Amino acid sequence: MSWLPIFKKEMRLYFGSPVAYVVFTFFLVISGWFFSTIFLFYSDASMRSFMQPQFGQNLNVIENVMRPLFTNMSVVLLFFIPMLTMRLFAEEQKSGTIELLLTYPVRDGEVLAGKYLAALALYGLLLALTLLYPALIAYFTRVEWGPILSGYLGLVLTGAVFLAVGVLVSSLTENQIVAGFGTFGILLAFWIVGWGAEFAGGNLRAVLQYLSVGDHLDTFTRGLIDTKDLVYYVTGVALALFLTLRSLESKRWKG
């Protein structure tokens, strides 16, 4: 458990600076605005369906509220995940403490694990706070918890990949701004790559669809858990962390 002191240190740094509070506040405000807007629209449509039943046949709280909410939250994460990861290694490199950190009697993998798990724990806490949304829906109407839980699993896995990419980019530069924008650029590319599948055909279409984060998340928001999607997320996290480890090892040798 040599990674545990690093984990605790990172958590103290998160809550000892404005980063965690800024991310939590703005993410919850924005996602809360999306939820209230979507839910009010659904409520209005439900009321109108009592007077005109033909318009209420396709109304479903999962399809009309939770799925759009999950999609909107994942888009918001494109902007906020880089804020959680940009300083993890970039700050250490700029201040010169990366050499000291890598000379501690801990392996590079344990250093990486401590920092990554701290960011993942903070992200998990952020998602936990949004459970208020389905709880409010359940107060007013009956909900199916299966698709909601699978949707949250999709958000957890999507965030895990986003964080791993952010940690990798942060290990490649000593500039936090560069790390933040670099992470955002890569995440945005993997988000919009699926759009090109509409104009492609054959194997290229299949490849673009597989690389798209949004396509895999969409499966979870529909209440489906597919092995193909699990492999995609696990592979993405493993590859990003593996490359980060190689980056740290190269710094040890250079040092």
- Which tokens hold the place of 170? 């942060």
Residue the block writes with tokens 């992470």: 183
Write out pLDDT tens, residues 190-239.
998 877 767 776 778 888 888 889 889 999 999 889 999 999 999 999 99
Tell me whether residue 139 is exposed, middle or buried, using C-beta atoms within 10 angstroms of its C-beta: 0 to 12, 13 to 18, 19 or more: exposed
Contact 174, 95 (CB under 8 A): no
Q: How many CB atoms lie within 10 A of CB 226?
A: 12
Q: How many CB atoms lie within 10 A of CB 177?
A: 11
Contact 90, 101 (CB under 8 A): no
Contact 150, 158 (CB under 8 A): no
pLDDT for the residue numbered 104: 63
Kindly report the pTM of this predicted structure.
0.91
CA distance 60 to 131: 19
Tell me whether residue 57 is exposed, middle or buried, using C-beta atoms within 10 angstroms of its C-beta: 0 to 12, 13 to 18, 19 or more: exposed
Write out pLDDT tens, residues 144-185.
889 999 999 999 999 999 999 999 999 998 899 999 999 999
Which amino acid would we find at residue 159?
G
Write out pLDDT tens, residues 96-150.
666 666 666 667 788 889 999 999 999 999 999 999 999 998 888 788 889 999 9
List the chain domain ranges: 4-254
